[in-house]
Copies of this chain bind each other. A is one copy, B any other.
Amino acid sequence: MPNIQKLRSMLMSNNIYGYIIPSTDEFQNEYPPKYLRRLEAVTGFTGSFGIAIITLDAVFFYTDGRYLLQAKQQLSSEFNILDIAEEGNCAFLGHNTANKFIGYDPNIHTFNEIQYWKSLGQKYGFSMIAIENNLVDNIGISYTKTDQVQCFEALWLNAENQELIFKKKLDHCFKGLDGNVTHLLLTSPASIGWLLDVRGRQTPYDMFILAYAIISKSGSITLFYDGSIEAPSFIEVAPIQSIIRYIMHFIAEGATIQCDPANASEKLASYCQVYGPDPCVMLRACKTEDERNGMINACYVDSKILTKFLNQLKLEYRMHTEISASEKLFAMRSEESSFVANSFDYISAFGPNAAIIHYKPIEETNLSLAMGGLYLIDSGGHYKFGTTDITRTILLGNNASYPQKLHYTLVLKGHIALATIVFPIGTCGVHIDAFARQYLWQHGLDYRHGTGHGVGYMLSVHEGPQSISRSLSNKTQLMQGMIVSNEPGYYKENEYGIRLENLMMVVPSKHKAFLCFKLLTYVPFDHDLILPELLTKAEQIWLDDYHANCLSN
Protein backbone atom coordinates (compact mmCIF):
# COMPACT_ATOMS: atom_id res chain seq x y z
CA MET A 1 0.00 0.00 0.00
CA PRO A 2 2.09 2.95 -1.23
CA ASN A 3 -0.49 5.48 0.09
CA ILE A 4 -0.17 4.11 3.59
CA GLN A 5 3.62 4.34 3.29
CA LYS A 6 3.40 7.96 2.19
CA LEU A 7 1.10 8.73 5.08
CA ARG A 8 3.41 7.04 7.55
CA SER A 9 6.29 9.22 6.49
CA MET A 10 3.98 12.21 7.08
CA LEU A 11 3.20 10.84 10.54
CA MET A 12 6.88 10.71 11.32
CA SER A 13 7.60 14.20 10.02
CA ASN A 14 4.69 15.48 12.15
CA ASN A 15 5.87 13.54 15.20
CA ILE A 16 2.58 11.73 15.56
CA TYR A 17 1.83 8.02 15.97
CA GLY A 18 -1.49 7.86 14.16
CA TYR A 19 -3.90 9.81 11.98
CA ILE A 20 -7.65 9.60 11.54
CA ILE A 21 -9.27 9.66 8.09
CA PRO A 22 -13.08 9.70 8.04
CA SER A 23 -15.27 9.15 4.99
CA THR A 24 -16.99 12.45 5.58
CA ASP A 25 -15.78 15.97 4.80
CA GLU A 26 -15.92 19.64 5.78
CA PHE A 27 -19.72 19.60 5.36
CA GLN A 28 -20.36 16.28 7.09
CA ASN A 29 -21.46 14.95 3.71
CA GLU A 30 -22.49 11.32 3.51
CA TYR A 31 -21.64 11.52 -0.21
CA PRO A 32 -18.78 14.03 -0.50
CA PRO A 33 -17.83 15.44 -3.87
CA LYS A 34 -14.96 13.57 -5.45
CA TYR A 35 -12.21 16.00 -4.43
CA LEU A 36 -13.18 15.66 -0.77
CA ARG A 37 -13.26 11.83 -0.74
CA ARG A 38 -9.98 11.42 1.08
CA LEU A 39 -10.73 8.02 2.57
CA GLU A 40 -11.49 6.62 -0.87
CA ALA A 41 -8.35 8.25 -2.28
CA VAL A 42 -6.17 6.60 0.35
CA THR A 43 -7.82 3.20 0.71
CA GLY A 44 -9.97 2.55 -2.36
CA PHE A 45 -13.05 2.01 -0.17
CA THR A 46 -16.13 3.41 -1.93
CA GLY A 47 -18.81 2.95 0.74
CA SER A 48 -20.59 5.89 2.34
CA PHE A 49 -19.34 5.29 5.88
CA GLY A 50 -15.88 4.37 7.16
CA ILE A 51 -13.09 5.62 9.39
CA ALA A 52 -9.45 4.63 8.89
CA ILE A 53 -6.92 5.02 11.65
CA ILE A 54 -3.43 4.81 10.22
CA THR A 55 -0.72 4.26 12.79
CA LEU A 56 2.98 3.55 12.41
CA ASP A 57 2.30 -0.07 13.33
CA ALA A 58 -1.10 -0.97 11.92
CA VAL A 59 -4.14 0.18 9.98
CA PHE A 60 -7.62 0.01 11.47
CA PHE A 61 -10.79 0.40 9.49
CA TYR A 62 -14.20 0.89 11.06
CA THR A 63 -17.46 0.63 9.21
CA ASP A 64 -20.97 -0.58 9.95
CA GLY A 65 -22.99 -3.68 9.10
CA ARG A 66 -23.93 -2.35 5.67
CA TYR A 67 -20.31 -2.23 4.51
CA LEU A 68 -18.39 -4.95 6.34
CA LEU A 69 -18.37 -7.36 3.40
CA GLN A 70 -17.57 -4.61 0.93
CA ALA A 71 -14.66 -3.43 3.09
CA LYS A 72 -13.27 -6.94 3.14
CA GLN A 73 -13.41 -6.99 -0.65
CA GLN A 74 -12.02 -3.51 -1.31
CA LEU A 75 -9.30 -3.25 1.32
CA SER A 76 -5.94 -4.99 1.35
CA SER A 77 -5.17 -7.61 3.95
CA GLU A 78 -3.12 -5.08 5.90
CA PHE A 79 -6.37 -3.50 7.19
CA ASN A 80 -7.95 -4.64 10.44
CA ILE A 81 -11.63 -4.32 9.55
CA LEU A 82 -13.92 -3.73 12.52
CA ASP A 83 -17.64 -3.34 13.08
CA ILE A 84 -18.15 0.04 14.71
CA ALA A 85 -21.33 -1.19 16.42
CA GLU A 86 -19.32 -3.78 18.29
CA GLU A 87 -15.99 -2.07 18.78
CA GLY A 88 -16.81 1.59 19.16
CA ASN A 89 -13.62 3.37 18.25
CA CYS A 90 -11.68 1.59 20.93
CA ALA A 91 -10.11 -1.55 19.56
CA PHE A 92 -6.94 0.05 18.24
CA LEU A 93 -6.36 1.54 21.64
CA GLY A 94 -5.26 -1.76 22.98
CA HIS A 95 -2.25 -1.46 20.68
CA ASN A 96 0.03 0.43 22.88
CA THR A 97 -1.16 3.99 22.38
CA ALA A 98 -0.37 5.26 25.85
CA ASN A 99 1.55 8.53 25.63
CA LYS A 100 1.22 8.55 21.85
CA PHE A 101 -0.05 11.42 19.69
CA ILE A 102 -2.98 10.92 17.32
CA GLY A 103 -3.46 13.56 14.64
CA TYR A 104 -6.65 14.82 13.00
CA ASP A 105 -7.88 17.59 10.74
CA PRO A 106 -9.95 20.01 12.89
CA ASN A 107 -11.78 21.25 9.80
CA ILE A 108 -13.51 17.98 9.02
CA HIS A 109 -14.19 16.41 12.43
CA THR A 110 -17.10 17.81 14.39
CA PHE A 111 -16.56 19.34 17.79
CA ASN A 112 -18.45 16.48 19.47
CA GLU A 113 -16.40 13.83 17.64
CA ILE A 114 -13.16 15.33 18.88
CA GLN A 115 -14.56 15.63 22.40
CA TYR A 116 -15.29 11.91 22.24
CA TRP A 117 -11.79 11.09 20.98
CA LYS A 118 -10.28 13.30 23.64
CA SER A 119 -12.25 11.48 26.35
CA LEU A 120 -10.90 8.18 24.99
CA GLY A 121 -7.46 9.74 25.08
CA GLN A 122 -7.84 10.62 28.74
CA LYS A 123 -8.85 7.05 29.44
CA TYR A 124 -6.12 5.33 27.44
CA GLY A 125 -3.37 7.89 27.75
CA PHE A 126 -3.03 9.18 24.19
CA SER A 127 -3.32 12.81 23.07
CA MET A 128 -5.27 14.25 20.15
CA ILE A 129 -3.31 16.68 18.00
CA ALA A 130 -5.05 19.04 15.57
CA ILE A 131 -3.14 19.38 12.29
CA GLU A 132 -4.44 22.26 10.23
CA ASN A 133 -3.34 20.99 6.83
CA ASN A 134 -5.03 17.76 5.91
CA LEU A 135 -2.28 15.16 5.52
CA VAL A 136 -4.09 13.38 2.71
CA ASP A 137 -4.39 16.59 0.71
CA ASN A 138 -0.81 17.40 1.62
CA ILE A 139 0.78 14.33 0.08
CA GLY A 140 -1.21 14.74 -3.10
CA ILE A 141 -3.11 11.47 -2.96
CA SER A 142 -6.52 13.15 -2.78
CA TYR A 143 -8.37 13.65 -5.99
CA THR A 144 -7.65 17.05 -7.50
CA LYS A 145 -9.89 20.04 -7.25
CA THR A 146 -10.15 20.52 -11.01
CA ASP A 147 -13.68 19.18 -11.35
CA GLN A 148 -14.60 20.78 -8.05
CA VAL A 149 -17.64 22.86 -8.73
CA GLN A 150 -19.80 20.83 -11.06
CA CYS A 151 -22.50 23.00 -9.55
CA PHE A 152 -25.54 23.51 -11.68
CA GLU A 153 -26.86 27.00 -11.35
CA ALA A 154 -28.30 27.45 -7.87
CA LEU A 155 -32.06 27.13 -7.88
CA TRP A 156 -34.15 29.47 -5.69
CA LEU A 157 -37.39 27.62 -5.02
CA ASN A 158 -39.55 30.55 -3.98
CA ALA A 159 -37.96 33.34 -5.94
CA GLU A 160 -41.02 35.58 -5.64
CA ASN A 161 -41.46 35.92 -1.89
CA GLN A 162 -38.02 34.67 -0.91
CA GLU A 163 -37.30 37.23 1.79
CA LEU A 164 -40.73 36.95 3.41
CA ILE A 165 -40.49 33.16 3.72
CA PHE A 166 -36.95 33.45 5.05
CA LYS A 167 -38.01 35.88 7.78
CA LYS A 168 -40.77 33.53 8.89
CA LYS A 169 -38.41 30.57 9.10
CA LEU A 170 -35.87 32.75 10.88
CA ASP A 171 -38.37 33.54 13.64
CA HIS A 172 -39.01 29.83 14.14
CA CYS A 173 -35.25 29.20 14.32
CA PHE A 174 -34.62 31.70 17.10
CA LYS A 175 -37.82 30.93 19.02
CA GLY A 176 -36.47 28.16 21.24
CA LEU A 177 -32.94 29.53 21.64
CA ASP A 178 -31.26 31.02 24.66
CA GLY A 179 -32.27 34.67 24.73
CA ASN A 180 -28.63 35.82 24.62
CA VAL A 181 -27.98 34.27 21.23
CA THR A 182 -27.86 36.94 18.52
CA HIS A 183 -26.38 34.89 15.66
CA LEU A 184 -26.60 31.32 14.43
CA LEU A 185 -23.73 29.69 12.58
CA LEU A 186 -25.26 27.10 10.25
CA THR A 187 -22.81 24.46 9.04
CA SER A 188 -25.26 21.96 7.56
CA PRO A 189 -25.81 22.45 3.82
CA ALA A 190 -29.27 20.84 4.23
CA SER A 191 -30.23 23.45 6.81
CA ILE A 192 -29.05 26.25 4.58
CA GLY A 193 -30.96 24.73 1.66
CA TRP A 194 -34.09 24.56 3.78
CA LEU A 195 -33.77 27.99 5.33
CA LEU A 196 -33.09 29.85 2.10
CA ASP A 197 -35.12 27.59 -0.20
CA VAL A 198 -32.03 27.22 -2.33
CA ARG A 199 -30.96 24.07 -4.12
CA GLY A 200 -27.83 23.17 -6.07
CA ARG A 201 -25.69 20.22 -7.04
CA GLN A 202 -22.09 19.96 -5.96
CA THR A 203 -22.08 16.44 -4.55
CA PRO A 204 -23.05 13.35 -6.51
CA TYR A 205 -26.45 12.81 -4.92
CA ASP A 206 -27.53 15.79 -2.86
CA MET A 207 -29.49 18.81 -3.96
CA PHE A 208 -27.79 21.39 -1.81
CA ILE A 209 -25.00 23.90 -2.20
CA LEU A 210 -21.83 23.39 -0.16
CA ALA A 211 -22.01 26.45 2.03
CA TYR A 212 -21.98 27.75 5.57
CA ALA A 213 -24.10 30.65 6.75
CA ILE A 214 -24.37 33.07 9.64
CA ILE A 215 -27.79 34.52 10.32
CA SER A 216 -28.69 37.15 12.86
CA LYS A 217 -31.86 37.42 14.90
CA SER A 218 -32.57 40.72 13.18
CA GLY A 219 -32.59 39.05 9.78
CA SER A 220 -29.21 39.71 8.20
CA ILE A 221 -27.55 36.76 6.54
CA THR A 222 -24.09 36.00 5.21
CA LEU A 223 -23.73 33.00 2.94
CA PHE A 224 -20.23 31.53 2.74
CA TYR A 225 -19.89 29.94 -0.64
CA ASP A 226 -17.11 29.41 -3.15
CA GLY A 227 -18.13 29.88 -6.74
CA SER A 228 -20.52 32.18 -8.53
CA ILE A 229 -24.09 32.43 -7.36
CA GLU A 230 -26.86 34.92 -8.10
CA ALA A 231 -28.27 35.47 -4.67
CA PRO A 232 -31.22 37.72 -3.78
CA SER A 233 -30.10 41.11 -2.56
CA PHE A 234 -30.88 40.48 1.14
CA ILE A 235 -28.18 37.78 1.22
CA GLU A 236 -24.53 38.78 1.46
CA VAL A 237 -22.20 36.25 -0.17
CA ALA A 238 -18.61 35.75 0.98
CA PRO A 239 -15.94 33.11 0.30
CA ILE A 240 -15.75 30.20 2.71
CA GLN A 241 -12.24 30.99 3.83
CA SER A 242 -13.42 34.34 5.18
CA ILE A 243 -15.81 32.80 7.70
CA ILE A 244 -13.56 32.97 10.75
CA ARG A 245 -12.81 36.62 10.02
CA TYR A 246 -16.56 37.27 9.90
CA ILE A 247 -17.20 35.37 13.15
CA MET A 248 -14.50 37.37 14.93
CA HIS A 249 -15.88 40.60 13.51
CA PHE A 250 -19.44 39.82 14.68
CA ILE A 251 -18.20 38.90 18.14
CA ALA A 252 -16.13 42.07 18.34
CA GLU A 253 -19.37 43.96 17.66
CA GLY A 254 -21.08 42.20 20.56
CA ALA A 255 -22.63 39.15 18.91
CA THR A 256 -23.31 35.88 20.76
CA ILE A 257 -23.02 33.10 18.20
CA GLN A 258 -24.49 29.61 18.57
CA CYS A 259 -23.46 26.58 16.54
CA ASP A 260 -24.32 22.88 16.65
CA PRO A 261 -21.34 20.96 18.08
CA ALA A 262 -22.67 17.76 16.51
CA ASN A 263 -22.30 19.27 13.06
CA ALA A 264 -19.85 22.18 13.18
CA SER A 265 -16.17 21.37 12.75
CA GLU A 266 -14.05 21.58 15.86
CA LYS A 267 -12.31 24.54 14.28
CA LEU A 268 -15.45 26.60 13.62
CA ALA A 269 -17.09 25.57 16.89
CA SER A 270 -14.09 26.77 18.84
CA TYR A 271 -14.92 30.35 17.83
CA CYS A 272 -18.60 30.20 18.90
CA GLN A 273 -19.85 31.03 22.40
CA VAL A 274 -22.99 28.88 22.67
CA TYR A 275 -23.49 25.24 21.71
CA GLY A 276 -26.94 23.91 20.94
CA PRO A 277 -28.73 21.83 18.35
CA ASP A 278 -29.25 23.34 14.91
CA PRO A 279 -32.91 24.49 15.13
CA CYS A 280 -33.41 23.96 11.38
CA VAL A 281 -33.04 20.19 11.82
CA MET A 282 -36.41 19.57 13.47
CA LEU A 283 -38.10 22.29 11.44
CA ARG A 284 -37.05 20.82 8.10
CA ALA A 285 -37.88 17.25 9.18
CA CYS A 286 -41.60 18.10 9.52
CA LYS A 287 -42.52 18.88 5.96
CA THR A 288 -44.86 21.72 4.97
CA GLU A 289 -48.12 21.09 3.16
CA ASP A 290 -46.48 21.90 -0.20
CA GLU A 291 -43.51 19.68 0.53
CA ARG A 292 -45.78 16.80 1.57
CA ASN A 293 -47.76 17.05 -1.64
CA GLY A 294 -44.52 17.21 -3.59
CA MET A 295 -43.19 14.06 -1.92
CA ILE A 296 -46.45 12.22 -2.60
CA ASN A 297 -46.24 13.28 -6.22
CA ALA A 298 -42.55 12.32 -6.57
CA CYS A 299 -43.24 8.85 -5.15
CA TYR A 300 -46.21 8.47 -7.47
CA VAL A 301 -44.14 9.31 -10.55
CA ASP A 302 -41.23 7.18 -9.36
CA SER A 303 -43.45 4.19 -8.51
CA LYS A 304 -44.78 4.15 -12.05
CA ILE A 305 -41.25 4.07 -13.45
CA LEU A 306 -40.14 1.34 -11.04
CA THR A 307 -43.16 -0.81 -11.78
CA LYS A 308 -42.54 -0.57 -15.51
CA PHE A 309 -38.83 -1.29 -15.02
CA LEU A 310 -39.42 -4.37 -12.88
CA ASN A 311 -42.10 -5.73 -15.22
CA GLN A 312 -39.76 -5.39 -18.18
CA LEU A 313 -36.84 -6.85 -16.26
CA LYS A 314 -38.87 -9.93 -15.31
CA LEU A 315 -39.21 -10.58 -19.06
CA GLU A 316 -35.83 -9.43 -20.36
CA TYR A 317 -33.48 -10.22 -17.50
CA ARG A 318 -31.34 -12.54 -19.64
CA MET A 319 -30.18 -9.50 -21.62
CA HIS A 320 -28.93 -7.72 -18.52
CA THR A 321 -26.09 -7.44 -16.05
CA GLU A 322 -26.30 -5.61 -12.72
CA ILE A 323 -24.75 -2.56 -14.34
CA SER A 324 -26.89 -2.55 -17.47
CA ALA A 325 -30.08 -3.03 -15.44
CA SER A 326 -29.05 -0.11 -13.25
CA GLU A 327 -28.32 2.00 -16.33
CA LYS A 328 -31.66 1.07 -17.84
CA LEU A 329 -33.50 2.25 -14.74
CA PHE A 330 -31.54 5.50 -14.76
CA ALA A 331 -32.42 5.97 -18.42
CA MET A 332 -36.09 5.37 -17.68
CA ARG A 333 -36.03 7.92 -14.85
CA SER A 334 -34.19 10.37 -17.08
CA GLU A 335 -37.00 10.22 -19.64
CA GLU A 336 -39.30 11.75 -17.03
CA SER A 337 -39.20 15.54 -17.49
CA SER A 338 -39.43 16.28 -13.77
CA PHE A 339 -36.46 14.03 -12.91
CA VAL A 340 -33.38 15.94 -11.75
CA ALA A 341 -30.82 13.43 -10.48
CA ASN A 342 -30.29 10.17 -8.68
CA SER A 343 -30.71 10.57 -4.93
CA PHE A 344 -27.94 8.03 -4.19
CA ASP A 345 -25.82 5.35 -5.84
CA TYR A 346 -28.08 2.61 -7.17
CA ILE A 347 -27.65 -0.74 -5.51
CA SER A 348 -28.24 -3.19 -8.33
CA ALA A 349 -27.34 -6.63 -7.08
CA PHE A 350 -27.90 -10.15 -8.28
CA GLY A 351 -27.65 -13.36 -6.25
CA PRO A 352 -24.78 -13.39 -3.75
CA ASN A 353 -23.89 -9.75 -4.46
CA ALA A 354 -27.17 -8.67 -2.87
CA ALA A 355 -25.99 -10.11 0.44
CA ILE A 356 -23.55 -7.17 0.53
CA ILE A 357 -25.99 -4.75 2.05
CA HIS A 358 -24.77 -1.63 0.25
CA TYR A 359 -23.30 -3.29 -2.83
CA LYS A 360 -22.50 -1.17 -5.86
CA PRO A 361 -21.76 -3.07 -9.07
CA ILE A 362 -18.40 -2.39 -10.68
CA GLU A 363 -16.88 -4.11 -13.74
CA GLU A 364 -14.94 -6.64 -11.65
CA THR A 365 -18.02 -7.84 -9.74
CA ASN A 366 -20.71 -7.26 -12.35
CA LEU A 367 -22.92 -10.36 -12.61
CA SER A 368 -25.24 -11.28 -15.44
CA LEU A 369 -28.82 -11.74 -14.33
CA ALA A 370 -29.91 -15.35 -14.55
CA MET A 371 -32.85 -17.60 -13.91
CA GLY A 372 -33.71 -18.63 -10.38
CA GLY A 373 -31.77 -15.89 -8.69
CA LEU A 374 -33.01 -12.94 -6.71
CA TYR A 375 -32.36 -9.43 -8.00
CA LEU A 376 -32.34 -6.50 -5.58
CA ILE A 377 -32.58 -2.89 -6.74
CA ASP A 378 -32.36 -0.03 -4.21
CA SER A 379 -32.53 3.35 -5.93
CA GLY A 380 -34.14 6.76 -5.84
CA GLY A 381 -34.37 10.09 -7.53
CA HIS A 382 -34.71 13.78 -6.93
CA TYR A 383 -37.64 15.17 -8.87
CA LYS A 384 -38.54 18.82 -9.26
CA PHE A 385 -41.04 18.36 -6.42
CA GLY A 386 -39.52 15.77 -4.11
CA THR A 387 -37.16 12.92 -3.43
CA THR A 388 -37.67 9.14 -3.55
CA ASP A 389 -36.02 5.97 -2.23
CA ILE A 390 -37.32 2.50 -2.97
CA THR A 391 -36.06 -1.07 -2.82
CA ARG A 392 -37.59 -4.14 -4.39
CA THR A 393 -36.33 -7.70 -4.64
CA ILE A 394 -37.66 -9.91 -7.43
CA LEU A 395 -37.30 -13.47 -8.57
CA LEU A 396 -35.86 -13.90 -12.05
CA GLY A 397 -37.52 -16.75 -13.91
CA ASN A 398 -39.60 -19.03 -11.78
CA ASN A 399 -39.25 -21.73 -9.15
CA ALA A 400 -37.96 -19.85 -6.18
CA SER A 401 -36.46 -22.08 -3.50
CA TYR A 402 -38.36 -22.54 -0.23
CA PRO A 403 -35.80 -20.55 1.80
CA GLN A 404 -35.98 -17.69 -0.71
CA LYS A 405 -39.75 -17.60 -0.36
CA LEU A 406 -39.69 -18.04 3.41
CA HIS A 407 -37.21 -15.22 3.92
CA TYR A 408 -38.97 -12.91 1.49
CA THR A 409 -42.27 -13.52 3.25
CA LEU A 410 -40.78 -12.92 6.71
CA VAL A 411 -39.33 -9.61 5.52
CA LEU A 412 -42.65 -8.68 3.92
CA LYS A 413 -44.57 -9.50 7.11
CA GLY A 414 -42.25 -7.22 9.08
CA HIS A 415 -42.66 -4.52 6.45
CA ILE A 416 -46.45 -4.75 6.77
CA ALA A 417 -46.34 -4.77 10.58
CA LEU A 418 -44.44 -1.48 10.62
CA ALA A 419 -46.54 0.07 7.86
CA THR A 420 -49.78 -0.58 9.71
CA ILE A 421 -48.81 0.39 13.24
CA VAL A 422 -50.74 3.12 15.08
CA PHE A 423 -48.79 4.87 17.83
CA PRO A 424 -49.25 7.65 20.36
CA ILE A 425 -47.60 11.04 20.02
CA GLY A 426 -44.27 10.76 21.81
CA THR A 427 -43.26 7.49 20.21
CA CYS A 428 -39.69 7.27 18.90
CA GLY A 429 -38.31 5.03 16.17
CA VAL A 430 -36.64 2.77 18.74
CA HIS A 431 -40.06 1.86 20.16
CA ILE A 432 -41.34 0.39 16.90
CA ASP A 433 -38.21 -0.88 15.14
CA ALA A 434 -38.71 -4.45 16.37
CA PHE A 435 -42.11 -4.71 14.67
CA ALA A 436 -40.26 -5.02 11.36
CA ARG A 437 -37.88 -7.65 12.77
CA GLN A 438 -40.24 -9.83 14.80
CA TYR A 439 -40.93 -12.53 12.20
CA LEU A 440 -37.27 -12.90 11.29
CA TRP A 441 -36.46 -13.10 15.01
CA GLN A 442 -38.83 -16.03 15.40
CA HIS A 443 -36.59 -17.89 12.97
CA GLY A 444 -33.41 -16.76 14.69
CA LEU A 445 -32.68 -14.25 11.90
CA ASP A 446 -32.11 -10.50 11.76
CA TYR A 447 -30.59 -7.76 9.60
CA ARG A 448 -27.63 -5.64 10.51
CA HIS A 449 -28.96 -2.23 9.61
CA GLY A 450 -31.64 0.18 10.77
CA THR A 451 -35.21 -0.22 9.60
CA GLY A 452 -35.86 3.34 8.48
CA HIS A 453 -34.27 6.73 7.91
CA GLY A 454 -35.64 10.20 7.38
CA VAL A 455 -35.76 11.64 3.86
CA GLY A 456 -35.18 15.26 2.94
CA TYR A 457 -37.21 17.33 0.52
CA MET A 458 -34.96 17.71 -2.52
CA LEU A 459 -31.93 17.81 -0.22
CA SER A 460 -30.44 14.53 1.03
CA VAL A 461 -32.11 11.17 0.74
CA HIS A 462 -30.80 10.35 4.23
CA GLU A 463 -31.84 13.18 6.48
CA GLY A 464 -32.42 13.01 10.22
CA PRO A 465 -33.03 13.53 12.96
CA GLN A 466 -35.71 10.80 13.01
CA SER A 467 -34.88 7.17 12.35
CA ILE A 468 -36.39 3.76 13.04
CA SER A 469 -33.63 1.67 14.57
CA ARG A 470 -32.46 -0.10 17.70
CA SER A 471 -30.27 2.82 18.74
CA LEU A 472 -31.21 4.05 22.21
CA SER A 473 -29.39 7.31 21.64
CA ASN A 474 -31.82 8.68 19.05
CA LYS A 475 -34.58 10.22 21.16
CA THR A 476 -36.34 11.99 18.30
CA GLN A 477 -40.09 11.54 18.41
CA LEU A 478 -41.91 10.68 15.21
CA MET A 479 -43.93 13.76 14.31
CA GLN A 480 -46.57 14.69 11.82
CA GLY A 481 -45.13 15.48 8.39
CA MET A 482 -41.93 13.49 8.81
CA ILE A 483 -40.94 11.09 6.03
CA VAL A 484 -39.36 7.74 6.95
CA SER A 485 -38.35 4.70 4.98
CA ASN A 486 -39.53 1.21 5.94
CA GLU A 487 -36.86 -1.20 4.76
CA PRO A 488 -36.40 -4.47 6.59
CA GLY A 489 -34.21 -7.04 4.87
CA TYR A 490 -32.52 -10.38 5.11
CA TYR A 491 -29.06 -11.27 3.82
CA LYS A 492 -27.77 -14.79 3.32
CA GLU A 493 -24.03 -14.52 2.74
CA ASN A 494 -22.88 -15.93 -0.61
CA GLU A 495 -26.46 -16.67 -1.66
CA TYR A 496 -28.90 -13.77 -1.81
CA GLY A 497 -30.17 -10.59 -0.27
CA ILE A 498 -33.71 -9.36 0.24
CA ARG A 499 -34.86 -5.85 1.10
CA LEU A 500 -38.30 -4.28 0.70
CA GLU A 501 -38.45 -0.52 1.05
CA ASN A 502 -41.27 1.99 0.81
CA LEU A 503 -41.39 5.60 1.92
CA MET A 504 -44.07 6.56 4.44
CA MET A 505 -45.25 9.84 5.93
CA VAL A 506 -46.23 10.34 9.57
CA VAL A 507 -49.88 11.47 9.61
CA PRO A 508 -52.60 11.76 12.27
CA SER A 509 -54.56 8.58 12.82
CA LYS A 510 -58.32 8.61 13.28
CA HIS A 511 -57.72 8.56 17.05
CA LYS A 512 -56.86 11.79 18.82
CA ALA A 513 -53.20 12.04 19.90
CA PHE A 514 -52.29 8.96 17.87
CA LEU A 515 -50.30 8.89 14.65
CA CYS A 516 -49.85 6.39 11.84
CA PHE A 517 -48.09 6.08 8.49
CA LYS A 518 -49.42 7.05 5.08
CA LEU A 519 -47.78 5.04 2.31
CA LEU A 520 -46.11 7.01 -0.45
CA THR A 521 -44.56 4.24 -2.57
CA TYR A 522 -46.78 1.97 -4.66
CA VAL A 523 -44.83 -0.74 -6.47
CA PRO A 524 -46.07 -4.35 -6.35
CA PHE A 525 -44.33 -7.01 -4.27
CA ASP A 526 -43.28 -10.17 -6.11
CA HIS A 527 -46.06 -12.76 -5.85
CA ASP A 528 -43.58 -15.45 -6.92
CA LEU A 529 -41.76 -14.98 -3.62
CA ILE A 530 -44.68 -14.87 -1.19
CA LEU A 531 -45.81 -17.88 0.84
CA PRO A 532 -49.49 -16.99 1.28
CA GLU A 533 -49.96 -19.60 3.99
CA LEU A 534 -47.66 -17.54 6.24
CA LEU A 535 -49.79 -14.42 5.94
CA THR A 536 -52.56 -13.66 8.40
CA LYS A 537 -55.89 -12.67 7.01
CA ALA A 538 -55.19 -9.03 7.91
CA GLU A 539 -51.85 -9.16 6.09
CA GLN A 540 -53.46 -10.70 3.02
CA ILE A 541 -56.09 -7.97 2.97
CA TRP A 542 -53.39 -5.29 3.34
CA LEU A 543 -51.44 -6.81 0.46
CA ASP A 544 -54.47 -7.09 -1.84
CA ASP A 545 -55.39 -3.54 -1.02
CA TYR A 546 -51.84 -2.36 -1.65
CA HIS A 547 -51.69 -4.08 -5.01
CA ALA A 548 -55.08 -2.69 -6.00
CA ASN A 549 -53.65 0.78 -5.29
CA CYS A 550 -50.60 -0.01 -7.39
CA LEU A 551 -52.78 -0.98 -10.33
CA SER A 552 -54.88 2.14 -10.08
CA ASN A 553 -51.75 4.35 -10.25
Contact = CB atoms under 8 A, between A and B. Distances in A.
Contacts of A428: 472
A514 interface: yes
A56 B421 CA distance: 48
A444 B511 CA distance: 5
A434 B423 contact: yes
A105 interface: no
A441 interface: yes
A65 to B, nearest CB: 13
A442 B442 CA distance: 23
Nearest to A442: B422
B444 A422 contact: yes
A419 to B, nearest CB: 13
A513 B430 contact: no
Which of the four size classes fits the interface of chain A?
Answer: 20 to 34
A432 interface: yes
A315 to B, nearest CB: 38
A536 B475 CA distance: 33
A512 interface: yes
B438 A511 contact: no
Q: Which of A442, A443, A513: most chain B CB closer than 10 A?
A: A442
A443 B511 contact: yes
A164 to B, nearest CB: 35
A442 B513 CA distance: 12
A445 to B, nearest CB: 8
Nearest to A426: B470
Interface string A462-478: 00000000101001000
Question: Could you say how many copies of this chain the assembly holds?
Answer: 2
A169 to B, nearest CB: 28
A83 interface: no
A423 B438 CA distance: 8
A442 B423 CA distance: 7
A433 interface: yes
Contact of A423 (B430, B441, B513, B514): B441
A426 B428 CA distance: 19
A549 interface: no
A167 interface: no
A512 B422 contact: no
A435 interface: yes
Contacts of A475: 472
A431 interface: yes
A475 B424 CA distance: 22
Q: Which of A430, A432, A434, A509: most chain B CB closer than 10 A?
A: A434
Contacts of A434: 421, 423, 427, 431-432, 434-435
A275 to B, nearest CB: 15
B446 A421 contact: no
A123 to B, nearest CB: 11
A444 B536 contact: no
A436 B4 CA distance: 53
A511 B440 CA distance: 11
Nearest to A473: B472
B472 A430 contact: yes
Contact of A431 (B423, B433, B536): B433
A168 to B, nearest CB: 29
Contacts of A509: 444
Q: Which of A431, A433, A441, A470: most chain B CB closer than 10 A?
A: A441
Nearest to A444: B511
Closest 7 CB pairs of A and B: A444-B511, A422-B441, A422-B442, A431-B434, A444-B514, A472-B475, A424-B446
10 contacts: A422-B438, A423-B434, A428-B472, A430-B430, A431-B434, A432-B434, A434-B434, A434-B435, A435-B435, A443-B511
Given A421-B441, A422-B438, 4 more contacts: A421-B438, A430-B431, A434-B435, A444-B514
Interface of A: 421-424, 426-428, 430-435, 438, 441-444, 446, 470, 472, 475, 509-514, 536
